[in-house]
Structure 1
Amino acid sequence: MTETESNVYDVVVLGAGPVGENVADRTRAAGLTTAIVESELVGGECSYWACMPSKALLRPVIAHADARRTPGLRHLVEGPLDTAAVLAHRDDHTSRWKDDGQVQWLESVGVDLYRGHGRLDGPRRVTVEGPDGERRVLTARHAVAVCTGSRAVLPGLPGLDAVKPWTSREATSAKEAPGRLVVVGGGVVGAEMATAWQGLGSKVTLLVRGKGLLPRMEPFAGELVAEALTEAGADVRTGTSVESVTREDGTVVVVTDGGDRIEADEILFATGRAPRTDDIGLDTVGLEPGSWLPVEDSLQVPDVPWLYAVGDVNRRALLTHQGKYQARIAGAAIAARAAGTPPLTEPWGAHAATADHAAVPQVVFTDPEAASVGLSLAEAERAGHRVRAVDFDLGSVAGAGLYADGYKGRARMVVDLEREIVLGVTFVGPGVGELIHSATVAVVGEVPIGRLWHAVPSYPTISEVWLRLLEAFRDS
């Protein structure tokens, strides 16, 4: 391999997913020269194998379910979805796994793209092994940002490689619906993909080792999603582990810890993520290869002042929107330090990713949707807050009854009794994903309960649940 180029930039970014793109955008906007390195497609996991394709698969499934709950439409949607049309819709939203448009965007903001595998090679130095076999060296005057994301982790079951199991990538990019699909894992990926493929014609068996689905949310979230999946025809089994998996004459055979034998056409393992840091040269700067990278609130790696770790790699919140938020913080911090200006480190300042600790929002696009922000009741209690949880049946809100016949849902607001502010909110029900930003504003803004009384929800919308929660808090 020959070295053909050596270039100097203010900032070098490893990884051109949404996080890396946003770091590059912010540093370029600050006038810093920036290079970005990508070994796969510009746009990253979110654009091609996660957020965009999964939601493109789920939206028709959820719309179909909503239509069946709507008078005047029910008789028009009794048949199955057109799976081929849904998959074509998914392909449109992934740009058919081509990144031309995203490359053009990088060019438009003045970021130089290097295709190939990037590795740290000592302080502020990155080598790129290109597809053409050439080795390029990039040197950063001010910062290197590691934005390489995470990958799916498969369990250590004997012979699993021969089974060719699905991970989230295969689940979101499959060319047809398997007749029978086993999904292992009850987190977000497992719940969403069980919803999608059951709705697209697969017979889904969902195996969950724990007590229920969506374990990081309030318990009722997983309960309502599991109930709906069961009603849709899925076989949901909790407290169940996989003992062995084989593929016999094309059929996947799963044996559970209870001795049950399940046959399927494909099996998806949605059982965790690991950082993509195993082969990026961390050892050349005194860090452990393959590790999650610790950061302080400006996303700077401790004791390595020129190195930033942004997005999944720091394990703060494995969510695209949270990674993009971190990217904006990191870009501003890099620009401030490059200008010789001390970063603003106080909470909620321009250079502090405070929301990572206090107000991480998430929507799970199942049917029903589950959305949360801030602390659950259990998390608030473990943190030592004196709190009260207020629950309300979303189905009794006027707007919910108009949204769908037989609307099922629930809301919870966790209130800090010392300061009378909202620490966390969870909504579960059809369409609640669009409610969560109001809760995020309340949590981030630490809006006093007394002030929230004057934020009047429009009638008749599902947002009226805010009034009902406040009334329940006042009267309890």
Structure 2
Amino acid sequence: MDQEHTYDVVVVGAGPTGENLADRAHAAGLSVAVVESELVGGECSYWACMPSKALLRPHTALAEARRLPGAREAVGATLDAAAVLARRDDFAAHWKDDGQAEWVRGAGLDLVRGHGRLDGPRRVAVDTPDGSRVLLTARHAVAVCTGTRAALPDLPGLAAAGVWTSREATSAKEVPGRLAVVGGGVVAVEMATAWRALGSEVTLLVRGDGLLPRMEPFAGELVAEGLTATGVKISNRVSVSAVDRPAPAAPVTLTLDVGGELVADEVLFATGRAPRTDDLGLETVGLAPGDWLTVDDSCRVTGVDGDWLYAAGDVNHRALLTHQGKYQARIAGAVIGAVAQGEPLDPAPWGPHRATADVEAVPQVVFTDPEAASVGPTAKEAEEAGRRVHVVDYDLAQVAGSALYGDDYRGRARMVVDANSERLVGVTFVGPGVGELLHSATVAVAAQTPISRLWHAVPSYPTISEVWLRLLEAYRDR
């Protein structure tokens, strides 16, 4: 080893999760080293949340203007693709992490650049860019916050074809003439939306029966209608069996299992995520390389003696969302701080040391047109968990605020109520602008709010939020 250093806590991964966990541990008075092998700020900052939403927002703004007489006449027919891509580049900091690295140092954390691997209990060995090796020893805890990578299927010709994953889809410098998107989840529908708006001819190939299978069925149906209206071609119950690209700049040919072929200039495979644990040294602490890291509600990894190893964010597979990773980081940081100071952990389900929201109140927004937003379980998931539920649906177009928001507004809201406790457990909204409704639903679900109390949360008129009153009336009158 060229260098050896000891800290209270070593965090592997400097994405939003790792940054938050390190910050919370430091706030508890602990010394912290943060290890990063790529860009400080992680997937979200450069290849996911920020660049993808920067690509999507211009389309949404233009679509909203087109729904309003007077505004539609004032806007152009198409987006300026070069301007959209330039703004995307700004939000991705032009793929430079100087600002994020400065934040880490300014927060009192030590940044160690290089590839970190576990090297036995409480030890992380880092191979640095200059070829040296640094051994970091943790007095109290090591936290793995390495996130995920795109999972690609094992198909003939795929490895040599140079296909897009989510990284290429959010960072591409040119608009492809023809784009095939393989998948039906969030990445697939968002990127189909973005690149179609920028001028690509987009074909969406979906293995299942519809889009967004983890949300209420009507969410995928309404998003599919929105995509189709913009010209996206959607084929359900179709899988790709082979990929062929004879040269780097040549078109890609997809062989379909239903027969026939599809030719595109680029192909995005949005077919899931895999944990970044295959080269992490897990075998040195008795865990299997490449596996998701199983944790308890305090984000401590199970199956490792000594309660010193933590995993937060996507790598533990509890909720693959940036905001949930940051939430877990706050929990784990508080736990590490309490344990280091000899304080007892609070066992309460909604206390400071348990990530209960990962199970009960996970929010998510899909930034398509229309938007789809949900928190808590779907009606089916709640029933499969043994709950007796009442389901209330309401047509968002019937809310006064929706009609004012834009002509021909289409949308739907669903409220899932536990029939025994009469508490709200799940909410889904689909429609233009509903992403900004979601936090009110998240607060209500996380607070386990009784329906009787929600009557006293009066929505402002005339806003789309009035849907809350309509849902309560429908529940009362069911």
CA distance in 1, matches of 2:10, 2:294: 19
CA distance in 2, matches of 1:430, 1:289: 43
Partner of 1:373: 375
Report how many residues are paired. 474
CA distance in 2, matches of 1:177, 1:64: 18
CA distance in 1, matches of 2:290, 2:118: 13
- The 5 Å alignment of 1:460-471 reads 460-471=462-473
Identical columns (%): 70
CA distance in 1, matches of 2:313, 2:347: 19
Q: Does 1:202 align with 2:204?
A: no
- Aligned-residue offset at 1:247: 1.5
- Aligned-residue offset at 1:78: 4.3
Q: Per-residue CA shift, 1:119-144, capped at 9, x if unaligned?
A: 00000011000010000000000000
Partner of 2:41: 43
- Aligned-residue offset at 1:212: 0.5
Partner of 1:402: 404
Q: Per-residue CA shift, 1:329-349, capped at 9, x if unaligned?
A: 000000000001121122001
Tell me if the contact between 2:156 and 2:241 (Cα under 8 Å) persists in the aligned partners. Answer: no
CA distance in 2, matches of 1:186, 1:70: 30
Partner of 1:296: 296
CA distance in 1, matches of 2:418, 2:224: 30
Q: Per-residue CA shift, 1:348-374, capped at 9, x if unaligned?
A: 010000000100000000000000000
Partner of 1:276: 276
CA distance in 1, matches of 2:246, 2:476: 61
**1:140 counterpart SS class:** strand
Tell me if the contact between 1:297 and 1:345 (Cα under 8 Å) persists in the aligned partners. Answer: no
CA distance in 2, matches of 1:261, 1:286: 46
Partner of 1:323: 325
Tell me if the contact between 1:368 and 1:428 (Cα under 8 Å) persists in the aligned partners. Answer: yes
Matching residue within 419, 422, 430 for 1:420: 422
Q: Does 1:387 align with 2:389?
A: yes
Partner of 2:344: 342
**1:413 counterpart SS class:** strand
CA distance in 1, matches of 2:253, 2:25: 51
CA distance in 2, matches of 1:163, 1:309: 34
Partner of 2:459: 457
**1:103 counterpart SS class:** helix
CA distance in 2, matches of 1:77, 1:357: 44
Q: CA RMSD of the aligned region, Å? A: 0.8
CA distance in 2, matches of 1:460, 1:77: 26
Identify which range, 302-311 or 437-446, moves more after superposition.
Answer: 302-311
CA distance in 2, matches of 1:162, 1:286: 35
Partner of 1:217: 215
Tell me if the contact between 1:68 and 1:78 (Cα under 8 Å) persists in the aligned partners. Answer: no
Query: Which residue type is aligned with residue 99 of structure 2?
Result: G
CA distance in 1, matches of 2:162, 2:303: 41
Q: Per-residue CA shift, 1:185-239, capped at 9, x if unaligned?
A: 0000001000000011000000000010000000000000001101100101111
Tell me if the contact between 2:7 and 2:137 (Cα under 8 Å) persists in the aligned partners. Answer: yes
- Aligned-residue offset at 1:248: 4.2
CA distance in 2, matches of 1:117, 1:107: 19
Query: Which residue type is aligned with residue 106 of structure 2?
Result: S
CA distance in 1, matches of 2:327, 2:390: 30
- The 5 Å alignment of 1:77-476 reads 77-248=75-246, 250-304=250-304, 305-476=307-478
Q: Per-residue CA shift, 1:142-165, capped at 9, x if unaligned?
A: 000000000001110111122100
CA distance in 1, matches of 2:280, 2:343: 30
Partner of 1:20: 18
TM-score of the superposition, structure 2-length normalised? 0.98
CA distance in 1, matches of 2:104, 2:268: 34
CA distance in 2, matches of 1:443, 1:217: 16
Identify which range, 143-152 or 260-269, moves more after superposition.
Answer: 260-269
Extract unaligned runs of 5+ from structure 1.
Answer: none
Query: Which residue type is aligned with residue 293 of structure 1?
Result: L
Q: Per-residue CA shift, 1:263-313, capped at 9, x if unaligned?
A: 110000000100000001000000010000110011001243000010011
CA distance in 1, matches of 2:241, 2:288: 32
Tell me if the contact between 2:183 and 2:207 (Cα under 8 Å) persists in the aligned partners. Answer: yes
TM-score of the superposition, structure 1-length normalised? 0.99
Tell me if the contact between 2:150 and 2:273 (Cα under 8 Å) persists in the aligned partners. Answer: yes
Q: Per-residue CA shift, 1:21-42, capped at 9, x if unaligned?
A: 0010001111100000000000
CA distance in 2, matches of 1:157, 1:54: 27
- Aligned-residue offset at 1:68: 0.9
CA distance in 2, matches of 1:320, 1:401: 33
- Aligned-residue offset at 1:71: 1.3
CA distance in 2, matches of 1:169, 1:343: 39
**2:204 counterpart SS class:** strand
Query: Which residue type is aligned with residue 270 of structure 1?
Result: A
CA distance in 1, matches of 2:58, 2:430: 19
Partner of 2:5: 7
Task: Could you list the structure 1 runs, at least 4 aligned residues long, displaced by more than 4 angstroms after superposition.
Answer: none
CA distance in 1, matches of 2:100, 2:211: 35
Query: Which residue type is aligned with residue 49 of structure 2?
Result: C
